[in-house]
Amino acid sequence: MKKLLFGTAGIPISTPDHNTENGVRYVRELGLDCMELEFVRSINITKERAPTIKEVAKKENVVLTCHAPYFINLNAIEKPKLYASMNRILNSARIAHLCGGWSVTFHAGFYMKMEPEKVYNNIRDKIKEIRKTLDNEGVDIWLRPETTGKPTQFSGLKDLLNISQEVEGVMPCVDFAHLHARTAGKNNTTEEFRDMLQQIEKALGKEGLKNMHIHMAGINYTEKGERNHLILKESDMNYKDLLKVWKEFKIAGVVICESPNIEEDAKLLQETYRNTL
């Protein structure tokens, strides 16, 4: 990526004749540059339909990413749940790749009151298996375990950076709202934003800053972490200072807006970023 692209988590709400192809076209009409395929409930695009979506995205010059289903736990004890989780990531990646997708993100799992080191090893090993399978199949797409919004979920930024160092073809999806909620209100100042980007650069080099998959939204939280997403202006998310830090570090990649008003806040982020000195 040469610059920062802004887009929506799913088909824009105001899209006429609501389907994926029209959503991609409407993203371009809105002046946005990317769209996340939302497989969070199910993988709702068939392999037969995927090439058409790829063609539309290429024509409109819209970068596609993908969010795999929520029902994933790579730390599951029960083998059927574990293999189902792995297959959901694999199948999301396969379909996204057929759509011309650049990146697939997922919530990797839960701690389940286990030792953090054991959980880390379990999840890293399963991601490594998934990556190997995709590479063997020629599925060239980034795998992006996402920073999560609750301390009971795996994980924060540090663990995901470590996995990215250990496994080729893996980078984090950095959800700044989740990192804010996960710490019950921290990670919301200029200094903290700089520290997070410095961590990324230290672990992954300049490539890490030029190859970012970001999620953004307003967020509601308690001392236990995330509750739900909010419209940016109705939240305490310090997005203006965050955008200044993004520009300071000259990051590149995609910013996917997950606010309830996805296209409105995506445009707000894009315009604010462009007007930030």
Q: Residue 226 and residue 242: Cα distance in Å, rounded? A: 19
Model confidence band, residue 276 (pLDDT cutoffs 50, 70, 90): confident
Alpha-carbon gap, residue 53 to 66, rounded angstroms: 13
Angle at 229 between CA 239 and CA 251, to 5 degrees: 35
Mean pLDDT of 81-97: 98
Looking at 17-145, which runs of residues are DSSP E strands? 34-38, 63-67, 103-106, 109-110, 142-145
Q: Quick one: what percent of the chain has pLDDT higher than 90?
A: 99
Cis, peptide link before residue 155, omega less than 30° from 0: yes
Q: Is the bond preceding residue 92 a cis peptide, omega within 30 degrees? A: no
pLDDT digits (tens, 9 = 90+) for 221-268: 999 999 999 999 999 999 999 999 999 999 999 999 999 999 999 999
Residue-range domains of the chain with CATH = 4-274 (3.20.20.150)
Q: Is the pTM of this model over 0.95?
A: yes
pLDDT, tens digit (0-9, with 9 covering 90-100), for 7-51:
999 999 999 999 999 999 999 999 999 999 999 999 999 999 999
